[in-house]
Amino acid sequence: MWHHGRNETDRTHNIREEAMTDEASADASLSDQRIVEFTRERKRLLRLSYRMLGSITEAEDVVQDAWLRWMRVKDEVRTPTAYLTRIVTRLCLDRMKSARVQREIYVGPWLPEPLVESLDACEATTDDVTVTLMLALERLSPLERAAFLLYDVFDVALTEVAAVLDREPAAVRQLASRARKNVQNARPRYSVGATEADGIARAFFAASRDGDVTALSALLARDVEIHSDGGGKVLAFREVIRGRERAVRLFVSAHRKSMTPPTLLRTAIINGLAGYVSLDSKGVLQTTALGIRDDKIFAIYMVKNPDKLTHVDVHHRDGSSA
């Protein structure tokens, strides 16, 4: 009897071990599947988060938080794309509440953290959310911004957007429609290729560096605007500069006062616009993006706030100069 009981106990123990092994194997398989699914969606989630928040750092934090939540999901998820989009959008909406308070006390013009890409990127742009449009999105409510980005930019089905925002489809359609009307003038109507973007960026850098009145007057639109974001940490314009004559005077004055000319590090696509990365006359890193319409520069977006440039490689140069 004793031997028989021992054998039964051993068999029960083996069955439990096999069950635990099978369960562990199933968990490992599910975990591997989760990793594959998240990796496939990660770039899209980063793009969505960045366009919701205007901050690369915060977008990365949101996606990391979404990853942790995703890996804790035990049940099967039929549509990972929709599920992850819902997580990320709701995390962004939570962050946008505090972000709006911070913008109200921000020193000088606020610009989104520059997304710097190689010139080749302009041939493979997946959406048309430029810095001009992102500034227009700041005028929208958080729900309008989310509805517009998901429905108009990322082509998410209306019913899915409704589920993400916990609203009826009809309400989401109204949110997206209001947003579309508010930002329609900021949507890009003119795109440039890599060669043209490089040429415009180099021409403007050279003209502003040299204080060339003739070249600047030819490049700038009559109603050009200069947005300069220093965040109160480095020297920058405390207000938006409007008008070609005023802009030209500022660039000429800066040229005359500087002992050392600025340095062009490389041309690039910045937030979907032609632009460049440079060091100013005092060696301060900055990015400059150029809004172009009818062959004229109608907007200049300069980011000098060091907190927004930590991800920009200052050592990467393109090997040629303007």
pLDDT class for 242, splitting at 50, 70, 90? Answer: very high
Three-state SS letters, 144-188: HHHHHHHHHHCCCCHHHHHHHHCCCHHHHHHHHHHHHHHHHHHCC
Instruction: Supply the range of the domain harboring residue 266.
Output: 194-308
Is there a domain that residue 21 lies in?
yes
pLDDT class for 115, splitting at 50, 70, 90? Answer: very high
Is there a domain that residue 24 lies in?
yes
17 plus 66 within the same structural domain: yes
Is there a domain that residue 316 lies in?
no
Residue 286: phi, psi to the nearest 5?
-155, 155
Token pair for residue 279?
């060091």
166 plus 212 within the same structural domain: no
Domain stop point among 152, 187, 222: 187
CA separation for the pair 77, 81 (Å, rounded): 9
230 plus 285 within the same structural domain: yes
Is there a domain that residue 317 lies in?
no
Which pTM was predicted?
A: 0.82
**pLDDT over 90 percentage in the chain:** 62
CA separation for the pair 65, 269 (Å, rounded): 28
- What pLDDT score does 94 carry? 92
Q: What mean pLDDT is predicted for residues 240-257?
A: 95
Helix (H) or strand (E) holding 5, with range, is helix 2-53
46 plus 69 within the same structural domain: yes
Three-state SS letters, 91-137: HHHHHHHHHHHHHHCCCCCCCCCCCEECHHHHHCCCCCCCHHHHHHH
82 plus 3 within the same structural domain: yes
- What pLDDT score does 184 carry? 84
Domain count, the chain: 3
Is there a domain that residue 154 lies in?
yes
Is there a domain that residue 119 lies in?
no
- What pLDDT score does 3 carry? 46
